[in-house]
Amino acid sequence: MCGIIGYVGKNEAAPIILDGLKRLEYRGYDSAGIALYKDGRFHVVKQKGRLEALRAAVGDTPLAGRIGIGHTRWATHGEPSDVNSHPHLGAKSRIAIVHNGIIENYRALRAFLESKGVVFSSETDSETVAQLAEYYYRGDLMDTVVKVVNAIEGYYALGFMCLDEPDRLIAVKKDNPLIVGVSKDGNFIASDVPAILSHTNQVCYLADREIVVLDADGVAFYNMDRERLEKSPETITWSLGSAEKGGYEHFMYKEIMEQPRVLRDTIRSALPDGSNAAVLDSLDVASFDKILITACGSAYNAGSVGKYVFESLCRIPVDVDLASEFRYRDALIDARTLVILISQSGETTDSIAAMREAKSKGAKVLAIVNVVGSTISREADYTVYTLAGPEIAVATTKAFSAQLALLYLIAVRFARALGKLTAPEAEALVGEISELPTHVEALFAQIDRVQYYATTCFNSKSIFFIGRNIDYAIAMEGSLKLKEISYIHSEAYAGGELKHGTISLIEDNTLVVAISCCKRLAPKIESNIVQVVSRGARVLLITNDGANPGAGLETGTGAESAAEEAAGARQFTLTEPTVNELFSPSLSVVLLQLFSYYVAANKGCDIDKPRNLAKSVTVE
């Protein structure tokens, strides 16, 4: 989960690489570095900290050259420091590399190289690649890359430069993303499209263990036997504007506000003639007797919502499993299991491994992915796309909402195909789902209230989220969102489970966020609220008029409810439009996202790049 970029062409490389790194910073921001070739040597600048620190360092060190590589790091092996930053050079400074991934056998390789007298300068696994490449180098960089790939284990996207072959870059990947951009002014490697989109929208995708050789005039692809491969560039249709802040203070806020549009596009894609329709039509739903949903993080939370929806509409057993657990648990699945794999990036290592594990057991994999051309999108048996566009904030919002929408529509389709819904019933549900974007727009009228309430609780030490049934599933997402961007400890509990232990953590003024949008369960969650309030908790209730008649849809600043709270009510209510309870998570989550956002903003947190995290988790 680092970002890499490389350029060779007619222009100065440093500005191109630094600009690309800015757009890759979401992948890791512990340190950054750049290496350019010029006049017979490498010019390297590496800096601990954000990219700005590197920019400042480069500012004092004139960097020239038309070929170079850059890296933004999320530290795994070796602390964040200048010396552990990439690019790494071999001991003779003949070969420079950048690496995203983990070299799992680096200890053995390092010991071997040290026994040959090689002196390492960093603690990283990645430096092993640079040292190994120099050790193998006999005047042919491509041959060296093949030998390195044969020696290393793990996962990687690697870019190489060599002093003796100063006009070309070579790159290779396994299990981690790497794209190749082509243009008349030069050619690129990068971890992701936005890094190069201001220079070209012509992109080729590398498969595992394919090698690309780039010079200023073109790119050539090879397999590990050095046989030439033919690849034609694909055109990226979205613009860089969609990966920029557009006047908002944070990407997260912009992405929250984009949700009505994202929902509309994604919903349309799954309707007849939509871009996802053909893939969904091709699924033989009746051939499955079980569904297993697997994913990581927020995508797992979307899957947890999906379980309720699929079981309720399709009456088919659904398991939900964390991809990192599923991959090692020897799950009981076979050709009659449909595995639904959810991933925004399509590059999450645990999710990729889960997909491969499922396929090896004969199950069919339907992937719900946001990034076109990603590993999961290419390897799954069936792939449908969320139409969220590039999501830059590390905390997912719009991609999550798009995942929910697709899950609902897939469930309705399956239910129809299985004969569990009549055509008019299915049509009515699709109609309700199609209304969600408008309801989300209506929710934005409560932003002032959410913002106000966040000012009263950003000092909390711990915040609990409770809900029952599908409200519990979305409570998990609310809790994850809050903790990842505000660093406030938080946990989500099924309302009925509190009394079995967690209630001992409730003390005076502990905030409990209660989600209650299922009418039939509202009295139950109300009891849970009474239980925590009587132990000193204050409550933020997220509900609708259906579950809590009279809740209304309050707008305003919240000051009036503040007065009420001060007068001892101990409860503040945010109300959403009443919709089918299966689809209410799409509304609750928007309020939860806004709440987390404002809590984090009040604390002055780095909202788009929370500490220790990265957008795309390409390590185990």
Residues that bind ligand M6R (CB under 6 A): 296-299, 343-345, 348, 351, 394-396, 484, 616-617
Task: Please work out, in degrees rounded to the nearest 5, the angle formed at the alpha carbon of residue 424 by the alpha carbons of 422 and 426.
Answer: 70
Identity of the residue, 149 or 619, whose beta carbon is nearer to ligand M6R in the bound complex: 619
Task: State the nearest-atom distance from the C-beta of 202 to ligand M6R, in Å.
Answer: 25
Other CB atoms within 10 A of residue 275 CB: 15
- Strand bridging mode 318-322 / 290-295: parallel
Residue 181 CB, shortest distance to ligand M6R, in Å, is: 22
- Entry field: residues in the chain: 620
Q: How far is the CB of 26 from ligand M6R (least distance, A)?
A: 10
User: Which residue type occupies 302?
Assistant: A
Q: Quick one: tokens of 157? A: 């996207």
- Compute the distance between CA of residue 41 and CA of residue 68 in angstroms, rounded to an integer: 12
Nearer residue to ligand M6R within complex by CB, 176 or 298 = 298
- In the complex, the smallest distance separating the C-beta of residue 70 from ligand M6R, rounded to whole angstroms, is 23
Q: How far is the CB of 24 from ligand M6R (least distance, A)?
A: 15
- Would you call 483 a catalytic residue per the annotation? no
Write down the least CB distance from residue 385 to ligand M6R, Å.
13
φ and ψ of 441, to 5 deg = -60, -40
| Catalytic one of 254, 307, 398, 615 | 615
Out of 2, 457, 518, 605, pick the active-site residue.
2
CA distances for 537 relative to 287, 300, 302, 361, angstroms: 49, 29, 28, 48
Query: Of 379 and 484, which has the nearer Cβ to ligand M6R?
Result: 484
Least CB distance to ligand M6R at residue 519 (A): 29
Which of residues 355 and 411 has its CB atom nearest to ligand M6R in the complex?
355
423-434 vs 436-443: helix axis angle to the nearest 10?
A: 30
Give long-range contacts, CB 8 A cutoff, 24+ apart: 115-120: 118/91, 119/91, 120/91
Dist. CA 426–CA 588, nearest whole Å: 23
Residue number with CB closer to ligand M6R (96 or 369): 369
Three-class SS state of 574: strand
Single-letter amino acid code for the residue at 203: V
In the bound state with ligand M6R, the residue whose beta carbon lies nearer, of 182 and 358, is 358
Q: Shortest gap between Cβ of 371 and ligand M6R (angstroms)? A: 8
Q: Which is nearer to ligand M6R, 304 or 344 (CB)?
A: 344
Burial class (CB in 10 A: 0-12, 13-18, 19+), 566: exposed
* CB closer to ligand M6R, 213 vs 296: 296
Those residues whose C-beta lies under 8 Å from the C-beta of residue 160, and which sit 6 or more positions away, are 95, 96, 97, 133, 141, 144, 145, 169, 170, 171
Q: What is the strand order of the sheet 364-369 is part of?
A: 318-322, 290-295, 337-343, 364-369, 382-385
Q: What is the DSSP letter of 594?
A: H
- Least separation in angstroms between residue 27's CB and ligand M6R is 11
Which one, of 6, 200, 166, lies nearest residue 93 by Cα?
166
Instruction: Please report which residue ranges of 464-542 form alpha helices under DSSP H.
Output: 470-486, 522-533
CA distance 451 to 587: 17
Q: Rounded distance, CA 396 to CA 401, Å? A: 9
120: left (phi over 0), alpha (psi -120 to 50) or beta: beta
Q: Using the minimum distance from each CB to ligand M6R, give the nearer residue, 299 or 506.
A: 299
Nearer to ligand M6R, 146 or 399 (CB): 399
- Cα distance between residue 278 and residue 271, in whole Å: 10
CB of 192 to ligand M6R, least distance (A): 12
Q: What is the DSSP letter of 510?
A: -
In the bound state, the residue with its beta carbon closest to ligand M6R is 297
Q: Which residue's structure tokens are 């010019």?
A: 43
Q: Is 2 noted as a catalytic residue in this protein?
A: yes
Cross-strand pairs, 111 = none
Query: How far is the C-alpha of 454 from the C-alpha of 52, rounded, in Å?
Result: 30
SS3 162: strand
Taking the CB of residue 39, how many other CB atoms lie within 10 A of it?
8
Cα separation, 304 vs 476, whole angstroms = 9
- Closer to ligand M6R by Cβ: residue 112 or 487: 487
Q: How far is the CB of 605 from ligand M6R (least distance, A)?
A: 14
CA atoms of 422 and 328, how far apart (whole Å) = 40
Run of H or E including 557: none
Pairing state between β 95-103 and 154-162: antiparallel
Catalytic site positions: 2, 615
